Amino acid sequence: MNRLLWLGLALILALLVPVVLGGSDLLTRLRAFDPGLMFALLGMILLCWIINAIRLRLLLGNQGNHLGRMRSLGVIIATEFAICTTPAGSGGPLTLMALLARDRIGPARSGAVFAADQINDLLFFFCALLGIAGYTLFHTLNRSLEGMLLASALLMIGALAGVVALTAYRRALLRLSGRLLRTLKMSARRRRRWTRKVLHFFRALAETWRLPKRTLTLVFALTCVHWSLRYSVLYLALLGLGVNLQWILSFLVQMLSLSAGQFSLLPGGAGAAELTSATLLTPMVGKSTAAAAIVIWRAVTYYFYLIVGGPVFLCLLGRPLLERLRLSLARDRR
């Protein structure tokens, strides 16, 4: 109940930002937006889900052949819903592991697939930052954008360095964690169980990276297509509102806003993403246009995930739980 209340407050805060920013002109700008373009933007998100479902099946290797197309699509939509409704997306990997466990895919394997997917995302954004850095050599950005771009680059480099260090020095980290758990007086049995789980995860991750190079290249190519589509939403929304902002600037605004949302620890970055994007967009396109663009952008890339993902999540995870409860009540009556 507390989580639903927290999500509700975050959504209210997210809606207040563009409403206060746009004022009375907001509804006028939204009414003028082409409905056909709105459906096209929603279609792009559906295509993103299909691409992610293909990525999932490719990263699962042989096990992905047993995961049907519609099933993998449902898993992706439910996982995205969990990411959007939990702080910093923490519910995403847990949901993915729970759903794939029903297809006899162990938590180590599904966790490794999620990690490999996140590493692909990191590589894409690192390459994107390099491209944006090249762009800044020939174009001038305002100081706030430059500062946030530098901070994002440092965080990205730190994240990639952390992944490399975690993989290269995993044995030393396991020994260190064992000592820490011993200091916390965890029983030897639980320590061994924890160590086995971590070792199984690293083994599964190594197996994922041993997939054919052609498969891994295809996964990264699909990652690039997915994020390019998703990060074109704000650009097309602004274009539909009559503003031709450069695509690379709209990409940068979205990347910085969503990064701020992640660090806010609010579900889906609700509120923080809107506030950051409003701060960055307003000087470039004006208040009313920025407010309308933010509403459309978040409606497509956040609220649509909640509307479609909620029923899928309940169908895939809620229905089996209700079935277990029904069987348990039936046994009690006997």
Q: Which residues pair with 81 in a beta bridge?
A: none
For the stretch 154-158, contacts whose Cβ atoms lie closer than 8 Å and that sit 24 or more positions apart, written own/partner, are: 155/259, 156/122, 156/125, 156/126, 156/129, 157/126
- Number of residues that make up the chain: 334
pLDDT tens, position by position, 122-178? 999 988 888 887 877 777 776 667 776 777 777 777 877 877 777 777 777 777 777
CA distance readout (Å), 11 to 84, 227, 266: 11, 24, 10
What is the secondary structure of 225-239 as a DSSP string?
A: HHHHHHTTHHHHHHH
Phi, psi (rounded to 5 degrees) for 322: -65, -35
Which range of residues forms the domain containing residue 188?
A: 2-333
Report pLDDT for 48. Answer: 96
How many other C-beta atoms lie within 10 A of the C-beta of residue 163?
15
Where the chain has pLDDT below 70, the residues are: 1-4, 6-7, 142-144, 148, 319-334
pLDDT tens, position by position, 199-232? 888 888 888 889 999 999 999 999 999 999 999 9
Report pLDDT for 326. Answer: 55
Report pLDDT for 39. Answer: 96
Report pLDDT for 329. Answer: 47
Report pLDDT for 332. Answer: 47
Q: How far apart are CA 27 and CA 23, in angstroms?
A: 8
Q: How many domains, in total, are found in the chain? A: 1
